[in-house]
Structure 1
Amino acid sequence: MESYASSSARPDRAEPCPRSAVSHGVGLAGLAGLALWTVLAWRYGMDGPHAGIFASVVACGVPMLLWSLLVDRVHRRPSTGIDWSGPRRSAREGFDISVVKLAGLWATWGAIALFYGTARWYWDGGYSYAMQLFGWAVVPLLLASIPYVIWLDRYLIEPRDGAYAFGQWVIGGAAGKPPEGAIGDHLRAWGVKAFFLAFMLSITPANFANVIGWRTGDPLAGPVELANFLITILFMIDVSFATIGYMLTCKPLDAHIRSANPHMAGWIAALICYPPFVLMGNGGPLDYHRGTAEWDMWFAGNAAMLWIWGGLLVLLTAVYAWATVAFGLRFSNLTHRGIITHGPYRWTRHPAYLSKNLFWWLSVMPFLSTTGNWVDVVRNCTLLGITSAIYYWRARTEEQHLSEDPDYRAYHAWMERRGVVTRALAALTRWSGRGSPAAHPERG
């Protein structure tokens, strides 16, 4: 990223941007379904947690699933690892493989359940509702996994995946010794799903209820109210798409996890940005809010600045939400599920991180203090600067992971050649005389 590289506003048609793993239509289909359900829920006052989950799983997820299968026909892509021309192995051979795989899959789910039951934070606040959902889903998932795995294993070109390797380890004996590294890959992938899906399910209902709670005239009361309303909607969109992304990691949709980040630095950089490890939250060691006020207080009485500043914050949040929508069914931290090159990823390799950090600087405005104490200003700017640096570090670890894929290297190289920001940073480096203008190639 040479921090955050972006492509030119009018890319050279002689060198088109590498093809994205997801089409524009997938995200648009999800947005249409989510918008329809949100309007109905608002009309009839359905702001409960079930309505919020329905928004993500059904209203947003089903249209994307149908578009992916019927229009993009993703199930036919070679990257799925599936050959639909006919069963590649007999029912007996496939069944023998499936038994081992189911043992590994169920053992994984059992370990996740133990983790949820042991970690106390999963039984407080919004997490308690997520745990209820998992409790209701246990039996249906166990029953559905049997025919699904048996059916799919007959068509997979190589069915002996991470779940199979873990099943070998669980069963032992005649099952054989799993390939080196396969179990670690499997556990990392499921660790990502377990950690982040519980988090997304815990915040989805509240985000949806925040939108439904607005009344017709509220957003029209002024620039602050309108900006807050639009930002609330955009955060709901982001959360809804992210939730369904963690759910549908399956091969027939070509949305499976190719690999989970194997670098410890990547995991540390990501986990400290989320509960319960988050460092930037209220009272945390990197809490940069002390002695600050929101942007609307500083511009109170200046209508022009309220409109301008509010518009900037809405724009940044829109880019942030767009970055998630662009993933379609594939959003996920710490994983490689196909290279995204369309939408805001055509302009910058890390649009979410860039827009999120700019939003924090402009909304919190740590360079101003309600106490009038310059020490608070220095402290808050330093802490938010460290927070932004963490996101830079996080982006670099993600690029280190994805650089193993030649498709990402091609995308990275294209962005380096066509990136306005990258060229500007290179020029700045030459001007400062502090180093070479070359970018340092190394996302999730």
Structure 2
Amino acid sequence: MLHDPTFSPAVRADPRPASAVSHGVGLAGLAGLILWVAVARHFGMDGPYAALVNVAACAAPMVLWSLLIDKVHRNPSTGIDWASRRPLRETIDVSLVKLTGLWVTWAAIALIYATGRFYWQGNFQFAMWCFERAAPVLFVLSVPYVIWLDRHLVEPRDGAWALGAWLLGQGAPEREAIYNHLRSWAVKGFFLAFMLAIVPPGFGDFIRADASAVLHDPVVLANWLITFMFVIDVAFATVGYLLTMRPLDAHIRTANPYAAAWMAALMCYPPFILMDTNGPLDYHPGTAEWTYWLAGHPVLLATTGAALVVLTAIYAWSTMAFGMRFSNLTHRGILTHGPYAWSRHPAYLSKNLFWWLSTLPLLSTGSIVDATRATLLLGVVSGVYYWRARTEERHLSADPDYRAYSEWMARNGPVPRFFAWIRGR
């Protein structure tokens, strides 16, 4: 075995920075989700409101665990000093300027939603329904929340304040603070609408599944479990976009400033998605699902189904590991536990392996040309996710904790070491 300095008696065995999220918070959210799913299946509650309750059932235990057990509100990274409470007269002007910036940002997001016809079609109509009812409540609650929090913040003049100060003509604009604020809300506005749009369909499919078929057909069982893994993934991801709050230490530190990162991410989601049906990277024509090719081979069907369930479970576990901090294109704390102790990008790796195994693009229902085209296009799709991974690493590498984690992973992570072995390093 090659000498690794991390195992020297003079060096701590695991030099990774402590994970920003504890194991317990994710398990608490999973427990709440499973409890509600059991209730919903028992009573046949498969509608969109029950799906929203599922998100709440996932969020509530995580909030309680974070505050009561992990006590995240005391973390220095929140930027809050609870022992200090400034007089209201010292902070009220800052709060009013901040509210101006915040409300203008929300108005701009609402204008984009109202203008884009895409947001009023299909599943996105449900997301707009949610926003229409939440907007007045958030508008009213933002006033006491901002005024209360600013009295305890170490530095209350954040990006929202910088935007408000610029709009009100109060001195030279703090451009980087404003840009980071706008990028952060662009992430939240874009991805939260998408998450809310896909919450009801997957939840309803899982609740409505025929239990008798699930227990007697391994293919149906595999698909049912895969659906459940996506229910977990979507619930945790939705919670992540909802609870970007400093008292939970789940706020956005920085949003990715690189155009390449935004391009790589957006092409994977509607309305910009390139892999969708008839899209330029649609690799499905001429292919068939794994069940088609393995029909009549029960052992292979069961084995492949089990492998696909495991891959989807790793994908869901990767999202669950974030707790309340899941988000694309942002830095909200460095994760080093769970699947992130095995790979820097376990979600991307498991997702792409799932696609290759479930599609089997080398096999075609058409011609060898169709098989070649499907294989090449799926290879390009995997390349897009590699591109996403690299742009995320570029952003996070500004944090010394991520650099320490990345260096540790290169030496000790099973997946990086496996690829290094393949390359002969």
| TM-score range relative to shorter protein | over 0.9
Q: Residue in 2 aligned with 1:64?
A: 62
Q: Which contiguous aligned blocks of 4+ residues in structure 1 show a shift greater than 4 angstroms? A: none
- 1:152 aligns with 149
TM-score (norm 2): 0.96
State the 1:13 CA deviation. 7.1
Point out the more displaced range, 378-387 or 89-98: 89-98
Instruction: Provide the residue aligned with 2:3 in structure 1.
Output: none
SS in 2 for 1:397: helix
Match of 2:342 among 320, 342, 347: 347
Partner of 2:129: 132
Total equivalences in the alignment: 417
Distance 1:298 1:426 in 2: 33
Contact 1:52 1:209 in 2 (8 A): yes
Q: Pick the aligned partner of 1:379 from 349, 373, 380.
A: 373
Tell me how far 1:170 sits from its aligned partner: 1.7
Does 1:411 pair with 2:408? no
The one-letter code sitting in structure 1 at the alignment partner of 2:263 is I
Contact 1:86 1:155 in 2 (8 A): yes
Q: Say which SS state the counterpart of residue 125 (structure 1) adopts.
A: coil
Separation in 1 of the partners of 2:248 and 2:173?
A: 26
2:354 to 356, 359, 381: 359
> 1:297: how far off?
1.1
Partner of 1:38: 37
Alignment of 1:248-263 (within 5 A): 248-263=243-258
Q: Give CA deviations for 1:285-339 in whole Å, capped at 9, x if unaligned.
A: 0100001111011111111101110011000000000000000000000000000
Query: Where do 1:70-219 residues align within 5 Å?
Result: 70-87=68-85, 89-172=86-169, 175-219=170-214
**Structure 1 counterpart of 2:235, from 233, 240, 249:** 240
**In 2, Cα distance between equivalents of 1:131 and 1:402:** 32
Q: Name the Cα RMSD after superposition.
A: 1.4
Kindly state the Cα deviation for residue 420 of structure 1 after the two structures are TM-superposed: 3.2
- Amino acid paired to 1:53: L
- Partner secondary structure for residue 175 of structure 2: coil
1:26 corresponds to which residue? Answer: 25
For the Cα contact (< 8 Å) 1:259–1:337, is it kept in 2?
Answer: yes
Asked if 1:220 is matched to 2:220, the reply is no
Residues in 2 aligned to 1:421 and 1:313: alpha-carbon distance in whole angstroms: 18
Distance in structure 1 (CA, Å) of the matches to 2:413 and 2:94: 47
Residue 290 (1) aligns with residue 285 (2): yes
**Distance in 2 between residues matched to 1:277 and 1:59, nearest whole Å:** 31
Which of residues 271, 275, 287 is equivalent to 1:276?
271
Report Cα offsets for 1:213-259 as digits up to 9, x if no partner: 11221211211011001000000000000001000001000000000
**Partner Cα separation in structure 2 for residue 417 and residue 187 of structure 1:** 37
Structure 2 CA distance for partners of 1:13 and 1:218, relative to 1, 3 Å: farther
Which one-letter code corresponds to 1:389 in the other structure?
G
Distance 1:404 1:302 in 2: 51
Partners of 2:343 and 2:414 within 8 A in 1: no
Does the residue aligned with 1:152 lie in a helix, a strand or coil?
helix
1:397 CA displacement: 0.1
Q: RCO greater where, 1 or 2, for CA within 8 Å and sep 6 or more?
A: 1
Residues 1:51 and 1:404: Cα distance change in structure 2 (over 3 Å): same
- Residues 342 and 415, structure 2, Cα contact 8 Å, conserved in 1: no
- Structure 1 residue 393 corresponds to structure 2 residue 391: no
CA shift for structure 1 position 16: 4.7
Q: Which residue is 1:330 aligned to?
A: 325
Conservation of the 8 A alpha-carbon contact between 1:189 and 1:257: yes
1:425-436 equivalences under 5 Å are 425-430=419-424
Counterpart for residue 307 of structure 1: 302
Equivalent residue letter for 2:300: M
Distance in 1, matches of 2:358 and 2:12, equals 38
- Aligned residue for 1:181, secondary structure, equals helix
What code does the residue aligned with 2:96 have?
A: V
Tell me whether 211-220 or 273-282 shows the greater mean CA deviation. Answer: 211-220
Unaligned runs of 5+ in 1: 1-6, 431-436, 438-444
Contact 1:322 1:344 (C-alpha < 8 Å) held by counterparts: yes
Q: Residue type matched to 1:384 in 2?
A: L
Q: Return the alpha-carbon distance in structure 1 between the equivalents of residues 141 and 184 of structure 2.
A: 20
Equivalence for 2:414: 420
Please state whether the residue corresponding to 2:211 is helix, strand or coil. coil
In structure 2, distance between residues paired with 1:360 and 1:421: 19
Give 1:93 shift. Answer: 1.5
Assess if the C-alpha contact under 8 Å between 2:16 and 2:404 holds in 1.
Answer: no
Q: Is the 8 A contact 1:17 1:346 kept in 2?
A: no
1:110 CA displacement: 0.2
Answer yes or no: is the 8 Å Cα contact 2:343–2:416 preserved in 1.
no
Aligned letter for 2:335? I
